[in-house]
Amino acid sequence: MRRRRTAPLRPWPNGAGRYPSSQAASIAQQQVQPDPDERPTEQLGEVRIARRVLRTVVEQAALSVAGVVRLAKLRSGRPPLFGRALPRHGVSLAVHGHVVAVDLYLIVAPGTGMVEVGAAVQESVAAAIAYILGMGVGEINVYIQDVA
């Protein structure tokens, strides 16, 4: 049996768990090749992940980035524009098969570089989705709603 090489892990700020960077996760997935001598395993059933769990993973990954204060709580009495409703919790998810598209609405700290924070949030969320959930990432759109 071959042993997997693990990538260096980054801690979550609350210390509850760890996940690798998205680059390390993709390298680790590419390096593991199936052993031709192993018998194929039977599929026992299917695994379904609730949207609430997916949203929680995305929220925790976004909040772990320095400079993010909280997620924006959007409430609008207007009908959705362009067929896209605004989320209430700051996270909008679209799941197509095993690929996730995410829209995040954030409040950032004053004095932080918004572009750098947005890029760090994209990387953190992509790593969490790939490593924790084992799903692919289609796109991660970050909208900075306010500075607080």
Distance of CA 65 to CAs 60, 62, 68, 93, 117, Å?
9, 6, 6, 20, 7
- Tell me, what amino acid is at 19? Y
Domains and CATH numbers, the chain: 48-147 (3.30.70.1350)
Output DSSP code: residue 88.
S
Res. 5: pLDDT tops 70: no
The alpha carbon of residue 13 and the mean position of all alpha carbons in its chain are separated, in whole angstroms, by 15
The confidence band for 144, taking pLDDT boundaries of 50, 70 and 90, is: very high
Q: What is the pLDDT of residue 47?
A: 81
Which is more confidently placed, 14 or 122?
122
Res. 16: pLDDT tops 70: no
Q: How do residues 78-128 score in pLDDT, each as one tens digit?
A: 555 555 555 668 999 999 988 999 999 999 999 999 999 999 999 999 999
> How much is the pTM?
0.67
Signed CA dihedral, 84, 63, 118, 129: sign only: negative
